[in-house]
Structure 1
């Protein structure tokens, strides 16, 4: 990059300022023509805009002005925050308050690893349990039928022995 002499840089800055001024005037003229203001009011408005632009960014932090208008622009002295208050706030933020005051122990107890398998198989086990009960009842009936004949024979044998012994 070539370094230009200071005077050339100043000349470019002046050209930019002139272009910006011309642009502002065109914008103001466009607004004013739409509103129908006379030329003298437009000029006064342009001056007000320029002075507002100059003073809009003016904030006096370290300088105490003597002028009353500038004293209004003075920023009040900043008071440093207490370190103790900041530390207390951080400590309070670090200690979260308990969300649940009463704890249900049943919900905290861990589930057994096969709880989902038992849940899925429960319906099938109910059907099998019914079938098993029916099968057991049927087996008992068959034994009772078989034991009735044996029981009748046993009773008859006992009766014969008693008759023989009498």
Structure 2
């Protein structure tokens, strides 16, 4: 019974697919007929361009337009450019260090510099904490050694 219902459903799906194919064929035929008929006739109508006059109708504006319409003095500009090209470039003014290529890892160093500063501060803080821990648990000999080390660092920093 279930198999019969499934077969009926498959049959109806096939019928619907065939109907769909027929409709698509009819649409294709219709489109090809329209294309062939329109290509045979020269009845294709393109929109005609509209040419507009941008000449001002007001007389005061026409005077301004004519004053602006004068061509620039091209001869003078060309002469200036030719004279500028004749001047010699002084190579002594160039800084050779600015021409040298950068090292391949310069961008990595730049990006990592801030992080390294933070790590350096944390490292110094951790070292100081370790020293204080040793001082608390250490003997008097360690205390004397640490005091001399801190004195040496203070004089080195100055």
Note whether the superposition's TM-score is higher than 0.5. Answer: no
TM-score (norm 2): 0.31
RCO higher in structure (CA 8 A, sep ≥6): 1
TM-score (norm 1): 0.30
Larger radius of gyration: 1
